[in-house]
Structure 1
Amino acid sequence: MVTSRERTQMAGRPRQDNGQVQGAAASLLNGLAVLEAFSVQNPVLGVTEVAQRVGLHKSTVSRILSGLAEAGYVQRDEETGRYRLGLGLLALSGPLLADLDVRRAALPYLEQLTEKTQETSAISVWNGYEAIVVEQVASPYQVKHTATIGTRYNKFESSSVRVFLAELAPALATELIESGKILRTAGDGLPVDHTTHLQEVARQAYAVNDGSTTEEEFGVSAPVRDYRGKVVGCITASAPRSRVHKLASRDAVVQAVQHAASEVSSRLGWQASPDVT
Protein backbone atom coordinates (compact mmCIF):
# COMPACT_ATOMS: atom_id res chain seq x y z
CA MET A 1 0.00 0.00 0.00
CA VAL A 2 1.36 3.44 -0.96
CA THR A 3 1.15 5.99 1.82
CA SER A 4 0.24 9.62 1.24
CA ARG A 5 3.85 10.63 2.00
CA GLU A 6 5.21 8.14 -0.53
CA ARG A 7 2.67 9.34 -3.10
CA THR A 8 3.86 12.91 -2.61
CA GLN A 9 7.50 11.85 -3.00
CA MET A 10 6.66 9.97 -6.18
CA ALA A 11 4.76 12.86 -7.65
CA GLY A 12 7.13 15.69 -6.77
CA ARG A 13 5.97 18.99 -5.35
CA PRO A 14 2.20 19.38 -5.92
CA ARG A 15 1.02 22.44 -7.82
CA GLN A 16 0.35 25.56 -5.84
CA ASP A 17 -3.16 26.70 -4.99
CA ASN A 18 -3.52 30.00 -6.84
CA GLY A 19 -5.97 31.08 -4.20
CA GLN A 20 -2.98 31.31 -1.86
CA VAL A 21 -0.21 32.22 -4.29
CA GLN A 22 -0.87 34.48 -7.25
CA GLY A 23 0.79 35.55 -10.48
CA ALA A 24 4.52 35.22 -11.01
CA ALA A 25 5.05 33.52 -7.65
CA ALA A 26 2.62 30.75 -8.59
CA SER A 27 4.31 30.34 -11.99
CA LEU A 28 7.71 30.08 -10.33
CA LEU A 29 6.54 27.48 -7.82
CA ASN A 30 4.86 25.46 -10.55
CA GLY A 31 8.11 25.57 -12.54
CA LEU A 32 9.98 24.22 -9.51
CA ALA A 33 7.34 21.51 -9.13
CA VAL A 34 7.97 20.43 -12.73
CA LEU A 35 11.73 20.21 -12.09
CA GLU A 36 11.16 18.22 -8.91
CA ALA A 37 9.05 15.68 -10.82
CA PHE A 38 12.29 14.24 -12.20
CA SER A 39 14.19 11.83 -9.97
CA VAL A 40 16.97 9.26 -10.02
CA GLN A 41 14.32 6.56 -10.45
CA ASN A 42 12.55 8.52 -13.21
CA PRO A 43 15.13 10.70 -15.00
CA VAL A 44 13.20 10.87 -18.29
CA LEU A 45 9.54 11.94 -18.40
CA GLY A 46 6.97 12.94 -20.95
CA VAL A 47 4.58 15.87 -20.68
CA THR A 48 1.68 13.66 -19.61
CA GLU A 49 3.74 11.97 -16.90
CA VAL A 50 4.91 15.29 -15.49
CA ALA A 51 1.36 16.67 -15.57
CA GLN A 52 0.12 13.69 -13.58
CA ARG A 53 2.88 14.05 -11.01
CA VAL A 54 2.38 17.77 -10.34
CA GLY A 55 -1.38 18.03 -10.89
CA LEU A 56 -1.26 20.59 -13.71
CA HIS A 57 -2.91 20.57 -17.14
CA LYS A 58 -0.78 19.14 -19.93
CA SER A 59 -0.81 22.39 -21.87
CA THR A 60 0.52 24.26 -18.82
CA VAL A 61 3.25 21.69 -18.25
CA SER A 62 4.18 21.81 -21.92
CA ARG A 63 4.65 25.60 -21.77
CA ILE A 64 6.71 25.32 -18.58
CA LEU A 65 8.93 22.62 -20.05
CA SER A 66 9.46 24.65 -23.23
CA GLY A 67 10.58 27.62 -21.18
CA LEU A 68 12.85 25.50 -19.02
CA ALA A 69 14.36 23.93 -22.14
CA GLU A 70 15.18 27.38 -23.55
CA ALA A 71 16.93 28.23 -20.28
CA GLY A 72 18.90 24.96 -20.34
CA TYR A 73 17.31 23.53 -17.20
CA VAL A 74 15.76 20.59 -19.09
CA GLN A 75 16.61 18.86 -22.35
CA ARG A 76 14.10 17.57 -24.87
CA ASP A 77 14.73 14.44 -26.90
CA GLU A 78 13.65 15.37 -30.42
CA GLU A 79 12.84 11.77 -31.33
CA THR A 80 10.67 10.86 -28.35
CA GLY A 81 9.56 14.31 -27.18
CA ARG A 82 10.43 13.32 -23.61
CA TYR A 83 12.47 15.44 -21.22
CA ARG A 84 15.36 15.07 -18.80
CA LEU A 85 17.09 17.57 -16.51
CA GLY A 86 19.61 19.81 -18.27
CA LEU A 87 23.15 20.87 -17.48
CA GLY A 88 21.96 24.39 -16.74
CA LEU A 89 21.02 23.18 -13.27
CA LEU A 90 24.68 22.51 -12.52
CA ALA A 91 25.60 26.14 -13.09
CA LEU A 92 22.63 27.22 -10.97
CA SER A 93 23.50 24.95 -8.05
CA GLY A 94 27.27 25.04 -8.42
CA PRO A 95 28.05 27.75 -5.82
CA LEU A 96 25.84 26.10 -3.20
CA LEU A 97 27.23 22.63 -3.92
CA ALA A 98 30.75 23.94 -3.61
CA ASP A 99 30.04 25.53 -0.23
CA LEU A 100 28.38 22.38 1.05
CA ASP A 101 30.87 19.90 -0.36
CA VAL A 102 34.29 21.45 0.11
CA ARG A 103 34.54 20.79 3.85
CA ARG A 104 33.23 17.23 3.60
CA ALA A 105 35.36 16.49 0.54
CA ALA A 106 38.50 17.83 2.22
CA LEU A 107 38.39 16.00 5.55
CA PRO A 108 39.88 12.63 4.53
CA TYR A 109 42.67 14.40 2.66
CA LEU A 110 43.37 16.64 5.65
CA GLU A 111 43.72 13.49 7.74
CA GLN A 112 46.13 12.04 5.19
CA LEU A 113 48.08 15.31 5.04
CA THR A 114 48.49 15.43 8.82
CA GLU A 115 49.49 11.77 8.89
CA LYS A 116 52.11 12.37 6.20
CA THR A 117 53.58 15.63 7.54
CA GLN A 118 52.74 15.18 11.24
CA GLU A 119 51.66 18.82 11.18
CA THR A 120 48.30 20.56 11.55
CA SER A 121 46.22 20.73 8.37
CA ALA A 122 43.14 22.83 7.69
CA ILE A 123 40.82 24.03 4.96
CA SER A 124 39.58 27.60 4.70
CA VAL A 125 36.98 29.38 2.57
CA TRP A 126 36.89 33.01 1.45
CA ASN A 127 34.18 35.49 2.42
CA GLY A 128 35.41 38.32 0.21
CA TYR A 129 38.09 39.72 2.49
CA GLU A 130 38.92 36.98 5.01
CA ALA A 131 40.03 33.34 4.97
CA ILE A 132 37.85 31.39 7.42
CA VAL A 133 38.89 28.00 8.82
CA VAL A 134 36.05 25.49 8.37
CA GLU A 135 37.83 22.22 9.19
CA GLN A 136 41.09 21.19 10.86
CA VAL A 137 43.10 18.11 11.79
CA ALA A 138 45.61 18.85 14.55
CA SER A 139 49.22 17.72 14.63
CA PRO A 140 49.97 14.85 17.03
CA TYR A 141 52.93 16.81 18.42
CA GLN A 142 52.55 18.51 21.77
CA VAL A 143 54.05 21.71 20.30
CA LYS A 144 51.97 22.67 17.28
CA HIS A 145 50.10 25.45 15.52
CA THR A 146 46.31 25.15 15.56
CA ALA A 147 43.31 27.39 14.88
CA THR A 148 39.76 26.75 15.99
CA ILE A 149 37.07 26.31 13.37
CA GLY A 150 35.72 29.74 12.53
CA THR A 151 39.08 31.50 12.92
CA ARG A 152 39.36 34.39 10.45
CA TYR A 153 42.52 35.63 8.75
CA ASN A 154 42.82 38.97 6.99
CA LYS A 155 46.58 39.57 7.05
CA PHE A 156 48.41 39.67 3.74
CA GLU A 157 51.23 37.70 5.33
CA SER A 158 48.94 34.68 5.88
CA SER A 159 49.56 32.10 3.18
CA SER A 160 45.84 31.30 2.89
CA VAL A 161 44.91 34.97 2.39
CA ARG A 162 47.46 35.34 -0.41
CA VAL A 163 46.19 32.22 -2.16
CA PHE A 164 42.68 33.70 -2.28
CA LEU A 165 43.92 37.19 -3.23
CA ALA A 166 45.90 35.68 -6.10
CA GLU A 167 42.64 34.56 -7.70
CA LEU A 168 41.13 38.04 -7.69
CA ALA A 169 41.51 40.72 -10.34
CA PRO A 170 44.65 42.73 -9.46
CA ALA A 171 42.63 45.92 -9.06
CA LEU A 172 40.31 44.26 -6.54
CA ALA A 173 43.20 42.80 -4.55
CA THR A 174 44.84 46.23 -4.46
CA GLU A 175 41.59 47.84 -3.34
CA LEU A 176 41.25 45.36 -0.44
CA ILE A 177 44.81 46.07 0.69
CA GLU A 178 44.68 49.85 0.31
CA SER A 179 41.28 50.05 2.05
CA GLY A 180 42.65 48.23 5.08
CA LYS A 181 40.32 45.24 4.78
CA ILE A 182 43.44 43.18 4.14
CA LEU A 183 46.11 44.18 6.66
CA ARG A 184 49.76 44.38 5.73
CA THR A 185 52.64 44.84 8.14
CA ALA A 186 55.69 46.84 7.11
CA GLY A 187 58.82 44.72 6.94
CA ASP A 188 56.99 41.41 6.67
CA GLY A 189 59.75 39.96 4.55
CA LEU A 190 57.53 39.69 1.47
CA PRO A 191 58.01 41.64 -1.80
CA VAL A 192 56.80 45.23 -1.61
CA ASP A 193 55.07 44.89 -5.00
CA HIS A 194 52.08 42.81 -3.96
CA THR A 195 50.67 42.56 -7.50
CA THR A 196 53.77 40.85 -8.87
CA HIS A 197 53.98 38.63 -5.79
CA LEU A 198 50.34 37.52 -6.13
CA GLN A 199 50.91 36.73 -9.80
CA GLU A 200 53.75 34.46 -8.72
CA VAL A 201 51.51 32.82 -6.10
CA ALA A 202 48.90 32.16 -8.81
CA ARG A 203 51.53 30.76 -11.17
CA GLN A 204 53.08 28.35 -8.67
CA ALA A 205 49.69 27.50 -7.06
CA TYR A 206 50.85 27.86 -3.47
CA ALA A 207 51.94 30.47 -0.93
CA VAL A 208 54.37 30.19 1.98
CA ASN A 209 54.34 31.99 5.30
CA ASP A 210 57.86 31.52 6.63
CA GLY A 211 57.79 33.61 9.79
CA SER A 212 55.92 36.52 8.19
CA THR A 213 53.02 36.53 10.65
CA THR A 214 54.90 35.43 13.78
CA GLU A 215 58.53 34.49 14.18
CA GLU A 216 57.79 30.85 14.99
CA GLU A 217 55.07 30.10 12.44
CA PHE A 218 55.49 28.27 9.15
CA GLY A 219 52.53 27.75 6.85
CA VAL A 220 51.90 26.53 3.31
CA SER A 221 48.60 26.97 1.46
CA ALA A 222 47.35 25.75 -1.92
CA PRO A 223 44.04 26.44 -3.70
CA VAL A 224 41.14 24.01 -4.03
CA ARG A 225 39.10 24.33 -7.22
CA ASP A 226 35.62 23.09 -8.11
CA TYR A 227 34.40 21.69 -11.43
CA ARG A 228 34.38 25.20 -12.96
CA GLY A 229 37.97 25.85 -12.00
CA LYS A 230 36.89 28.40 -9.41
CA VAL A 231 38.85 28.51 -6.15
CA VAL A 232 36.39 27.48 -3.42
CA GLY A 233 38.81 26.66 -0.65
CA CYS A 234 42.39 26.57 0.49
CA ILE A 235 44.37 23.72 2.09
CA THR A 236 46.94 24.83 4.67
CA ALA A 237 49.59 23.00 6.68
CA SER A 238 50.92 24.86 9.73
CA ALA A 239 53.95 24.05 11.87
CA PRO A 240 56.58 25.58 14.13
CA ARG A 241 59.33 27.07 11.93
CA SER A 242 62.07 25.53 14.02
CA ARG A 243 60.77 22.02 13.40
CA VAL A 244 60.34 22.49 9.67
CA HIS A 245 63.77 24.02 9.16
CA LYS A 246 65.47 21.56 11.49
CA LEU A 247 64.09 18.65 9.48
CA ALA A 248 64.81 20.43 6.17
CA SER A 249 61.26 19.45 5.20
CA ARG A 250 60.00 22.72 3.68
CA ASP A 251 59.76 21.41 0.12
CA ALA A 252 58.20 18.15 1.31
CA VAL A 253 55.46 20.07 3.14
CA VAL A 254 54.81 22.24 0.05
CA GLN A 255 54.47 19.17 -2.16
CA ALA A 256 52.21 17.40 0.34
CA VAL A 257 49.88 20.41 0.59
CA GLN A 258 49.71 20.79 -3.19
CA HIS A 259 48.92 17.09 -3.54
CA ALA A 260 46.12 17.29 -0.95
CA ALA A 261 44.63 20.36 -2.64
CA SER A 262 44.78 18.59 -6.01
CA GLU A 263 43.01 15.52 -4.60
CA VAL A 264 40.21 17.60 -3.08
CA SER A 265 39.85 19.56 -6.33
CA SER A 266 39.55 16.31 -8.30
CA ARG A 267 36.85 15.12 -5.91
CA LEU A 268 34.94 18.36 -6.58
CA GLY A 269 35.13 17.74 -10.35
CA TRP A 270 38.12 19.85 -11.33
CA GLN A 271 40.24 18.52 -14.17
CA ALA A 272 43.47 20.39 -14.71
CA SER A 273 44.38 21.13 -18.30
CA PRO A 274 47.29 19.02 -19.56
CA ASP A 275 50.58 20.84 -20.02
CA VAL A 276 51.17 21.99 -23.58
CA THR A 277 54.57 20.95 -24.88
Structure 2
Amino acid sequence: MLDPQTTTDKPQGAAASLLNGLTVLEAFSVARRSLLGVTEISELVGLHKSTVSRMLTGLDEAGYVQRDDDTGRYRLGLGMIGLAGPLLAELGVRRAALPHLEELTEATAETAAIAVWNGTNAIVVEQVASPHQVKHSAAIGTRYNKFASSSVRVFLAELPPEETDRLLAGRIVLQEGYRGLEDPAHQRLADVRDHGFAVNDGETTYEEYGISAPVRDYRGAVVGCITASAPRSRVQHQRSQSILRDAVLQAAERVSARLGSRPGEATPVH
Protein backbone atom coordinates (compact mmCIF):
# COMPACT_ATOMS: atom_id res chain seq x y z
CA MET A 1 0.00 0.00 0.00
CA LEU A 2 1.24 3.48 -0.76
CA ASP A 3 1.83 5.65 2.27
CA PRO A 4 -0.21 8.87 2.08
CA GLN A 5 0.70 11.54 4.63
CA THR A 6 -0.22 10.53 8.15
CA THR A 7 1.08 13.54 10.08
CA THR A 8 -1.29 15.89 11.84
CA ASP A 9 -0.32 18.76 9.54
CA LYS A 10 -1.77 17.26 6.39
CA PRO A 11 -2.28 19.60 3.42
CA GLN A 12 -5.81 20.89 3.17
CA GLY A 13 -8.09 21.98 0.34
CA ALA A 14 -6.57 22.24 -3.13
CA ALA A 15 -3.16 21.01 -1.95
CA ALA A 16 -4.71 17.86 -0.48
CA SER A 17 -6.69 17.22 -3.67
CA LEU A 18 -3.56 17.59 -5.79
CA LEU A 19 -1.59 15.18 -3.63
CA ASN A 20 -4.45 12.67 -3.65
CA GLY A 21 -4.63 12.87 -7.43
CA LEU A 22 -0.89 12.23 -7.75
CA THR A 23 -1.17 9.32 -5.33
CA VAL A 24 -3.92 7.79 -7.46
CA LEU A 25 -1.74 8.12 -10.58
CA GLU A 26 1.18 6.47 -8.78
CA ALA A 27 -1.00 3.44 -8.11
CA PHE A 28 -0.71 2.40 -11.75
CA SER A 29 3.07 2.08 -11.55
CA VAL A 30 2.87 0.30 -8.19
CA ALA A 31 0.34 -2.25 -9.43
CA ARG A 32 2.12 -2.73 -12.78
CA ARG A 33 -1.23 -3.54 -14.40
CA SER A 34 -2.77 -1.58 -17.22
CA LEU A 35 -6.34 -1.66 -15.87
CA LEU A 36 -7.31 -0.93 -12.26
CA GLY A 37 -10.68 -0.62 -10.55
CA VAL A 38 -11.69 1.89 -7.89
CA THR A 39 -11.50 -0.71 -5.11
CA GLU A 40 -8.02 -1.87 -6.14
CA ILE A 41 -6.70 1.67 -6.27
CA SER A 42 -8.32 2.46 -2.93
CA GLU A 43 -6.50 -0.48 -1.33
CA LEU A 44 -3.20 0.45 -2.97
CA VAL A 45 -3.19 4.09 -1.92
CA GLY A 46 -5.02 3.93 1.39
CA LEU A 47 -7.74 6.40 0.40
CA HIS A 48 -11.50 5.95 0.74
CA LYS A 49 -13.22 4.61 -2.38
CA SER A 50 -15.36 7.74 -2.68
CA THR A 51 -12.21 9.90 -2.70
CA VAL A 52 -10.56 7.67 -5.30
CA SER A 53 -13.69 7.71 -7.45
CA ARG A 54 -13.82 11.49 -7.32
CA MET A 55 -10.13 11.78 -8.19
CA LEU A 56 -10.51 9.38 -11.13
CA THR A 57 -13.45 11.34 -12.51
CA GLY A 58 -11.40 14.53 -12.53
CA LEU A 59 -8.33 12.80 -13.95
CA ASP A 60 -10.48 11.21 -16.66
CA GLU A 61 -11.86 14.60 -17.68
CA ALA A 62 -8.30 15.98 -17.83
CA GLY A 63 -7.13 13.05 -19.96
CA TYR A 64 -4.65 11.66 -17.43
CA VAL A 65 -6.61 8.41 -17.03
CA GLN A 66 -9.11 6.71 -19.31
CA ARG A 67 -12.14 4.68 -18.24
CA ASP A 68 -12.72 1.41 -20.04
CA ASP A 69 -16.39 1.35 -21.09
CA ASP A 70 -16.66 -2.45 -20.92
CA THR A 71 -15.17 -3.05 -17.47
CA GLY A 72 -15.49 0.34 -15.77
CA ARG A 73 -11.80 0.07 -14.84
CA TYR A 74 -9.15 2.69 -15.54
CA ARG A 75 -5.88 2.91 -17.41
CA LEU A 76 -3.40 5.77 -17.77
CA GLY A 77 -4.48 8.24 -20.45
CA LEU A 78 -2.62 9.93 -23.27
CA GLY A 79 -2.55 13.14 -21.26
CA MET A 80 0.33 11.61 -19.30
CA ILE A 81 2.44 11.63 -22.45
CA GLY A 82 1.89 15.34 -22.90
CA LEU A 83 2.72 15.95 -19.24
CA ALA A 84 5.96 13.95 -19.35
CA GLY A 85 6.85 14.85 -22.93
CA PRO A 86 9.18 17.81 -22.21
CA LEU A 87 11.12 15.82 -19.62
CA LEU A 88 11.38 12.77 -21.89
CA ALA A 89 12.61 14.99 -24.71
CA GLU A 90 15.29 16.50 -22.48
CA LEU A 91 16.48 13.09 -21.32
CA GLY A 92 16.50 11.78 -24.89
CA VAL A 93 18.52 14.74 -26.10
CA ARG A 94 20.99 14.34 -23.28
CA ARG A 95 21.56 10.64 -23.99
CA ALA A 96 21.86 11.23 -27.72
CA ALA A 97 24.29 14.10 -27.26
CA LEU A 98 26.77 12.71 -24.74
CA PRO A 99 28.99 10.65 -27.08
CA HIS A 100 29.13 13.53 -29.54
CA LEU A 101 29.99 15.99 -26.78
CA GLU A 102 32.88 13.71 -25.89
CA GLU A 103 33.96 13.67 -29.54
CA LEU A 104 33.67 17.45 -29.74
CA THR A 105 35.87 17.95 -26.67
CA GLU A 106 38.38 15.38 -27.94
CA ALA A 107 38.58 17.14 -31.33
CA THR A 108 38.82 20.70 -30.00
CA ALA A 109 40.14 20.28 -26.43
CA GLU A 110 37.43 22.72 -25.34
CA THR A 111 34.36 22.35 -23.14
CA ALA A 112 31.29 20.94 -24.90
CA ALA A 113 27.76 21.14 -23.52
CA ILE A 114 24.14 20.68 -24.49
CA ALA A 115 21.32 22.87 -23.21
CA VAL A 116 17.54 22.70 -23.49
CA TRP A 117 14.97 25.50 -23.42
CA ASN A 118 12.36 25.80 -20.67
CA GLY A 119 10.52 28.75 -22.20
CA THR A 120 12.65 31.49 -20.64
CA ASN A 121 16.10 29.98 -20.04
CA ALA A 122 18.68 27.80 -21.71
CA ILE A 123 19.51 25.08 -19.17
CA VAL A 124 22.70 22.99 -19.32
CA VAL A 125 21.78 19.29 -19.06
CA GLU A 126 25.10 17.68 -19.98
CA GLN A 127 28.72 18.80 -20.28
CA VAL A 128 32.17 17.43 -21.08
CA ALA A 129 34.86 19.70 -19.65
CA SER A 130 37.99 20.78 -21.48
CA PRO A 131 41.18 18.95 -20.41
CA HIS A 132 42.99 22.31 -20.20
CA GLN A 133 43.66 23.78 -16.76
CA VAL A 134 42.30 27.11 -17.98
CA LYS A 135 38.82 26.53 -19.37
CA HIS A 136 35.23 27.72 -19.37
CA SER A 137 32.61 25.38 -17.94
CA ALA A 138 29.20 25.46 -16.26
CA ALA A 139 27.60 23.05 -13.82
CA ILE A 140 24.71 20.90 -15.06
CA GLY A 141 21.54 22.80 -14.28
CA THR A 142 23.07 26.22 -14.97
CA ARG A 143 20.50 28.58 -16.51
CA TYR A 144 21.15 31.34 -19.01
CA ASN A 145 18.74 34.16 -19.81
CA LYS A 146 21.06 36.80 -21.30
CA PHE A 147 20.68 37.68 -24.95
CA ALA A 148 24.48 37.80 -25.18
CA SER A 149 24.61 34.03 -24.55
CA SER A 150 24.99 32.13 -27.82
CA SER A 151 22.73 29.31 -26.59
CA VAL A 152 19.93 31.73 -25.68
CA ARG A 153 20.07 33.29 -29.14
CA VAL A 154 19.87 29.88 -30.81
CA PHE A 155 16.62 29.14 -29.00
CA LEU A 156 15.17 32.62 -29.44
CA ALA A 157 15.84 32.49 -33.18
CA GLU A 158 13.39 29.59 -33.48
CA LEU A 159 10.47 31.28 -31.74
CA PRO A 160 7.62 33.17 -33.43
CA PRO A 161 8.25 36.95 -33.56
CA GLU A 162 5.50 37.75 -31.06
CA GLU A 163 6.98 35.34 -28.52
CA THR A 164 10.48 36.71 -29.04
CA ASP A 165 9.14 40.24 -28.64
CA ARG A 166 7.46 39.29 -25.35
CA LEU A 167 10.61 37.66 -23.95
CA LEU A 168 12.94 40.47 -25.01
CA ALA A 169 10.60 42.97 -23.39
CA GLY A 170 10.58 41.06 -20.10
CA ARG A 171 12.40 37.84 -19.28
CA ILE A 172 15.53 38.00 -21.46
CA VAL A 173 18.32 40.28 -20.26
CA LEU A 174 19.62 42.73 -22.87
CA GLN A 175 22.71 44.85 -22.34
CA GLU A 176 20.70 47.90 -23.33
CA GLY A 177 16.99 48.60 -23.00
CA TYR A 178 14.71 46.86 -25.46
CA ARG A 179 13.46 49.09 -28.28
CA GLY A 180 10.63 46.94 -29.60
CA LEU A 181 10.33 45.25 -32.97
CA GLU A 182 12.90 47.66 -34.45
CA ASP A 183 15.54 46.61 -31.92
CA PRO A 184 18.77 45.28 -33.52
CA ALA A 185 18.28 42.09 -31.50
CA HIS A 186 15.73 40.89 -34.06
CA GLN A 187 18.22 41.24 -36.92
CA ARG A 188 20.81 39.32 -34.92
CA LEU A 189 18.31 36.50 -34.45
CA ALA A 190 17.59 36.53 -38.19
CA ASP A 191 21.34 36.13 -38.76
CA VAL A 192 21.38 33.13 -36.42
CA ARG A 193 18.59 31.52 -38.45
CA ASP A 194 20.39 32.24 -41.73
CA HIS A 195 23.83 31.02 -40.59
CA GLY A 196 22.72 28.14 -38.38
CA PHE A 197 24.83 29.11 -35.38
CA ALA A 198 25.40 31.90 -32.83
CA VAL A 199 28.66 33.28 -31.44
CA ASN A 200 29.38 34.85 -28.06
CA ASP A 201 32.72 36.64 -28.49
CA GLY A 202 33.32 38.11 -25.07
CA GLU A 203 29.75 39.41 -24.73
CA THR A 204 28.83 37.68 -21.47
CA THR A 205 32.30 37.80 -19.91
CA TYR A 206 35.31 39.36 -21.59
CA GLU A 207 37.44 36.20 -21.54
CA GLU A 208 34.80 33.77 -22.87
CA TYR A 209 34.26 32.65 -26.43
CA GLY A 210 31.26 30.43 -27.12
CA ILE A 211 29.62 29.08 -30.23
CA SER A 212 26.26 27.28 -30.33
CA ALA A 213 24.24 25.38 -32.93
CA PRO A 214 20.72 23.95 -32.75
CA VAL A 215 19.81 20.29 -32.35
CA ARG A 216 16.61 19.24 -34.15
CA ASP A 217 14.33 16.25 -33.74
CA TYR A 218 12.37 14.26 -36.31
CA ARG A 219 9.87 17.12 -36.65
CA GLY A 220 12.59 19.63 -37.46
CA ALA A 221 11.94 21.40 -34.17
CA VAL A 222 14.84 22.65 -32.06
CA VAL A 223 15.03 20.53 -28.90
CA GLY A 224 18.55 21.35 -27.78
CA CYS A 225 21.63 23.41 -28.38
CA ILE A 226 25.26 22.27 -28.63
CA THR A 227 27.79 24.80 -27.32
CA ALA A 228 31.58 24.81 -27.27
CA SER A 229 33.16 27.28 -24.81
CA ALA A 230 36.77 28.40 -24.59
CA PRO A 231 38.94 31.24 -23.32
CA ARG A 232 39.10 33.93 -26.00
CA SER A 233 42.88 33.91 -25.83
CA ARG A 234 42.90 30.42 -27.40
CA VAL A 235 40.59 31.27 -30.29
CA GLN A 236 41.69 34.78 -31.22
CA HIS A 237 42.97 33.92 -34.67
CA GLN A 238 40.52 33.06 -37.42
CA ARG A 239 41.59 29.44 -37.94
CA SER A 240 40.80 28.45 -34.36
CA GLN A 241 37.37 30.07 -34.59
CA SER A 242 36.51 28.30 -37.84
CA ILE A 243 37.70 24.94 -36.51
CA LEU A 244 35.55 25.33 -33.40
CA ARG A 245 32.54 26.45 -35.48
CA ASP A 246 32.80 23.52 -37.88
CA ALA A 247 33.18 21.04 -35.01
CA VAL A 248 30.10 22.40 -33.23
CA LEU A 249 28.01 22.31 -36.41
CA GLN A 250 29.10 18.74 -37.08
CA ALA A 251 28.27 17.65 -33.53
CA ALA A 252 24.84 19.29 -33.69
CA GLU A 253 24.16 17.62 -37.04
CA ARG A 254 25.10 14.20 -35.69
CA VAL A 255 22.95 14.53 -32.59
CA SER A 256 20.05 15.74 -34.75
CA ALA A 257 20.46 12.70 -37.00
CA ARG A 258 20.23 10.41 -33.96
CA LEU A 259 16.94 12.12 -33.07
CA GLY A 260 15.53 11.51 -36.54
CA SER A 261 16.18 14.89 -38.13
CA ARG A 262 16.96 15.04 -41.83
CA PRO A 263 19.47 17.55 -43.27
CA GLY A 264 17.86 20.87 -44.15
CA GLU A 265 14.69 20.05 -42.20
CA ALA A 266 13.47 22.81 -39.91
CA THR A 267 10.23 23.95 -38.42
CA PRO A 268 9.41 27.34 -39.96
CA VAL A 269 9.22 30.40 -37.71
CA HIS A 270 5.74 31.92 -37.89
Q: TM-score, normalised by structure 1?
A: 0.65
Equivalent position of 1:183 in the other structure = 175
Give matches, 1:95-110, under 5 Å: 106-110=97-101
Distance 2:121 2:14 in 1: 38
Aligned equivalent of 2:39, options 48, 70, 85? 48
Aligned-pair identity (%): 58
Distance 1:152 1:222 in 2: 17
Q: Answer yes or no: is the 8 Å Cα contact 1:220–1:257 preserved in 2.
A: no
Distance 2:115 2:6 in 1: 41
Distance 2:207 2:11 in 1: 61
Distance 2:7 2:207 in 1: 64
Report the secondary structure of 2:72's partner residue: coil
Q: Which AA in structure 1 matches 2:249?
A: Q
Give matches, 1:12-91, under 5 Å: 12-14=2-4, 22-39=12-29, 41-91=32-82
Distance 1:213 1:27 in 2: 45
Aligned equivalent of 2:243, options 240, 244, 249? 249
1:116–1:43 Cα change, 3 Å: farther
1:145–1:259 Cα change, 3 Å: farther
Distance 1:57 1:88 in 2: 25
Give the superposition deviation at 1:46.
1.8
Report the secondary structure of 1:45's partner residue: coil
Q: Answer yes or no: is the 8 Å Cα contact 2:114–2:224 preserved in 1.
A: yes
Within the alignment, does 1:119 sit opposite 2:106 as a pair?
A: no
Unmatched 5+ stretches in structure 1? 1-10, 185-191
Unmatched 5+ stretches in structure 2? 177-182
Q: Which AA in structure 1 matches 2:239?
A: H
Give the superposition deviation at 1:59.
4.3
Give the superposition deviation at 1:251.
5.7
Report the secondary structure of 1:121's partner residue: strand
Within the alignment, does 1:223 sit opposite 2:214 as a pair?
A: yes
Give the superposition deviation at 1:237.
1.4
Equivalent position of 2:179 in the other structure = none
Q: Answer yes or no: is the 8 Å Cα contact 1:209–1:218 preserved in 2.
A: yes
Equivalent position of 2:199 in the other structure = 208
Q: Answer yes or no: is the 8 Å Cα contact 1:125–1:131 preserved in 2.
A: yes
1:16–1:93 Cα change, 3 Å: farther
**Aligned alpha-carbon RMSD (Å):** 4.5
Q: Answer yes or no: is the 8 Å Cα contact 2:147–2:173 preserved in 1.
A: no
After superposition, give the CA deviation of every residue in 1:84-132 in whole Å (9 maximum; x if it has no partner).
2122223334456667786677544422321244332123456777656
Aligned equivalent of 2:136, options 130, 136, 146? 146
Give matches, 1:253-272, under 5 Å: 253-259=247-253, 261-262=255-256, 266=259, 272=261
Distance 1:105 1:222 in 2: 15
Q: Which AA in structure 1 matches 2:199?
A: V
1:174–1:71 Cα change, 3 Å: closer
